[in-house]
Amino acid sequence: MKATPLLLACTLAACATPPAPTDAEVLALHRRVLTLDTHKDIDPKLAPASLPADPATAAEFRRRFDPSLRGAQQVDFPKMREGGYDAAFFIVYTDQRRLDAGGYARALAEANQKFDAIHRMVQKHGDEIGLALSPDDVERLHGAGKLVACIGIENGYPMGLDPANIAAFHARGARYMSLAHNGHNQLGDSHTPAAPQHGGLSELGRRAIAEMNRLGIMVDVSHASRDTMLQAVAASTAPVIASHSGARAVNDHSRNLDDDQLRAIAERGGVVQCVALAEFVKSDAERSRALAAWRDQCGIGPQHQDTELDEAESDRRYQRFRDGLLALDQRFPRASVRDFVDHIDHVVRVAGIDHVCIGSDFDGGGGIDGWNDASTTANVTRELVRRGYDEAQIRQIWGGNLLRVWRQVEAVAARGGR
Ligand SMILES: [Zn+2]
Phi, psi of 364 (to 5 degrees): -145, 20
Q: Residue 6's pLDDT is what?
A: 45
Distance 181 CA to ligand 1 centre (A): 7
- The whole-number average pLDDT for the span 235-243 is 98
- The whole-number average pLDDT for the span 390-395 is 98
Asked if 30 and 350 count as a contact pair (C-beta separation under 8 A), the reply is no
Q: How many CB atoms lie within 10 A of CB 133?
A: 15
Distance 56 CA to ligand 1 centre (A): 33
Residue 11's pLDDT band, with cuts at 50, 70 and 90, is low
Distance 126 CA to ligand 1 centre (A): 28
For residues 127 and 145, give the distance between their C-alpha atoms in angstroms, rounded to a whole number.
Answer: 10
Q: Where are the domains of the chain?
A: 23-282+335-414, 286-333
Q: Residue 8's pLDDT is what?
A: 45
What percent of the chain is helix, strand and coil (3-state, nearest 5)? 50, 15, 35
Distance 173 CA to ligand 1 centre (A): 19
Distance 98 CA to ligand 1 centre (A): 19
Residue 102's pLDDT band, with cuts at 50, 70 and 90, is very high
Encoded amino acid at 408, one letter: Q
Q: Residue 176's pLDDT is what?
A: 98
Distance 375 CA to ligand 1 centre (A): 21
Asked if 41 and 362 count as a contact pair (C-beta separation under 8 A), the reply is yes
Q: Residue 195's pLDDT is what?
A: 93
Distance 292 CA to ligand 1 centre (A): 16
Distance 304 CA to ligand 1 centre (A): 18
Encoded amino acid at 364, one letter: G
DSSP assignment string, 263-276: HHHHHTT-EEEEE-
Distance 175 CA to ligand 1 centre (A): 16
Q: What tens digit of pLDDT does each residue of 51-91 get?
A: 999 999 999 999 999 999 999 999 999 999 999 999 999 99
pLDDT value at 92 more than 50 = yes
Which range among 9-18, 234-243, 283-292 has the greatest average pLDDT? 234-243
Look at residues 161, 219, 225, 154 and name the one whose alpha carbon lies nearest to residue 188: 225
Q: Residue 417's pLDDT is what?
A: 93
- The reported pTM is 0.90
Distance 134 CA to ligand 1 centre (A): 23
Distance 255 CA to ligand 1 centre (A): 9
For residues 272 and 96, give the distance between their C-alpha atoms in angstroms, rounded to a whole number.
Answer: 23
Q: Residue 3's pLDDT is what?
A: 41
Q: What tens digit of pLDDT does each residue of 250-292 get?
A: 999 999 999 999 999 999 999 999 999 999 999 888 888 898 8
Residue 12's pLDDT band, with cuts at 50, 70 and 90, is low
Distance 313 CA to ligand 1 centre (A): 22
Q: What tens digit of pLDDT does each residue of 170-225 get?
A: 999 999 999 999 999 999 999 999 899 999 999 999 999 999 999 999 999 999 99
Distance 355 CA to ligand 1 centre (A): 20
Chain mean pLDDT for the chain: 93
- The whole-number average pLDDT for the span 89-102 is 96
In this structure, what DSSP letter does residue 400 have?
Answer: I
pLDDT value at 16 more than 70 = no
Distance 276 CA to ligand 1 centre (A): 11
Distance 191 CA to ligand 1 centre (A): 11
Q: What tens digit of pLDDT does each residue of 210-231 get?
A: 999 999 999 999 999 999 999 9
Q: What tens digit of pLDDT does each residue of 327-366 get?
A: 888 888 889 999 999 999 999 999 999 999 999 999 999 9
Report helix, strand or coil for 103. Answer: helix
Distance 343 CA to ligand 1 centre (A): 17
CATH architecture under which domain 23-282+335-414 falls = Alpha-Beta Barrel (3.20)
Contacts of 172-175 spanning 24+ positions with Cβ under 8 A? 172/112, 172/115, 172/119, 173/115, 173/118, 173/119, 173/131, 173/133, 174/92, 174/115, 174/217, 175/89, 175/133, 175/134, 175/150, 175/151, 175/216, 175/217, 175/218, 175/406
Distance 245 CA to ligand 1 centre (A): 8
Q: Residue 7's pLDDT is what?
A: 44
Distance 159 CA to ligand 1 centre (A): 17
Distance 215 CA to ligand 1 centre (A): 23
